[in-house]
């Protein structure tokens, strides 16, 4: 990592730049792996969340399915057009599809989404890491004096010459 103020190379564990004294703590947090991860959920909380999502999709699917059945029943009772019967069948099919999506999403959601999120964060870290060093390539930072350089010079000087 390089100091954003003076471009001096620094470690991630440093709190301040050794050259200019810039506060590196917020910057080093950005470069730490896993700094932007979501809060960890316990297994029970994660399972409840996944099951709640599945039940929600299934309820919506069943509501659409019931609507399709009602349209089909009304079509049979009042002997309406064939188009209304086809529309009822399509609404039933949509309701079943929505309910099945909830089940299938839950079946793959526990493993697939977690693995995909890890791959995306590792890919983002790989993309961001070289970009920060490439920005500094070809540019030479202007060397600045140390914050304590003047104090160090005064230690060896005569007490009468200080003022």
What gap in Å lies between CA 18 and CA 13, rounded to an integer? 12
Contact in structure between 89 and 72 (CB atoms under 8 Å): yes
pTM of the shown model: 0.46
pLDDT tens digits along 127-136: 555 555 555 5
Residue 39 has pLDDT above 80, yes or no: no
Q: Give domain status of residue 79, yes or no.
A: yes
The predicted structure's pLDDT at residue 112:
47
Tell whether 31 is covered by a domain.
no
Question: Would you say residue 6 lies in a domain?
Answer: no
| Closest alpha carbon to 75 in 61, 64, 91 | 91
Choice among 68-82, 87-101, 144-158 with the minimum mean pLDDT: 144-158
Has residue 93 been placed in a domain? Answer: yes
| Residue from 57, 59, 84 nearest 71 by CA | 84
Residue 12: C-alpha distances to residues 26, 35, 65, 85, 137 (Å)? 10, 13, 57, 68, 20
Q: What are residue 140's phi and psi, to 5 degrees?
A: -100, 125
Q: What domain range is 101 assigned to?
A: 43-116
Alpha carbon distance 147, 162 (integer Å): 18
Per the domain annotation, does 37 fall within a domain?
A: no
Contact present, 11 and 1 (Cβ < 8 Å): yes
Q: What is the rounded CA–CA span in Å between residue 160 and residue 163?
A: 7
Is position 83 within any domain?
yes
* Any domain includes 105: yes
23 lies in some domain: no
**Mapping DSSP to helix (H, G, I), strand (E, B) and coil, where does residue 81 land?**
coil
Count up the domains in the chain and report the number.
Answer: 1
């Amino acid at each position: 990592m390089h100091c954003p103020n003076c471009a001096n190379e620094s470690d991630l564990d440093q709190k301040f730049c050794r050259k200019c004294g810039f506060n590196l703590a917020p910057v080093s947090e950005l470069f730490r792996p896993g700094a932007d991860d979501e809060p960890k959920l316990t297994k029970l909380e994660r399972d409840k969340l996944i099951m709640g999502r599945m039940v929600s999709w299934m309820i919506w699917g069943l509501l659409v399915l019931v609507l399709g059945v009602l349209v089909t029943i009304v079509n049979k009772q009042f002997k309406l057009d064939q188009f209304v019967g086809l529309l009822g069948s399509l609404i039933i099919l949509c309701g079943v599809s929505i309910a099945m999506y909830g089940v299938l999403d839950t079946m793959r959601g526990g493993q697939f989404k977690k693995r995909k999120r890890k791959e995306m964060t590792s890919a983002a870290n790989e993309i961001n890491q070289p970009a920060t060093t490439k920005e500094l390539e070809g540019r030479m930072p202007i060397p600045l004096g140390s914050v304590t350089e003047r104090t160090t010079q005064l230690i060896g000087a005569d007490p009468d010459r200080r003022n």
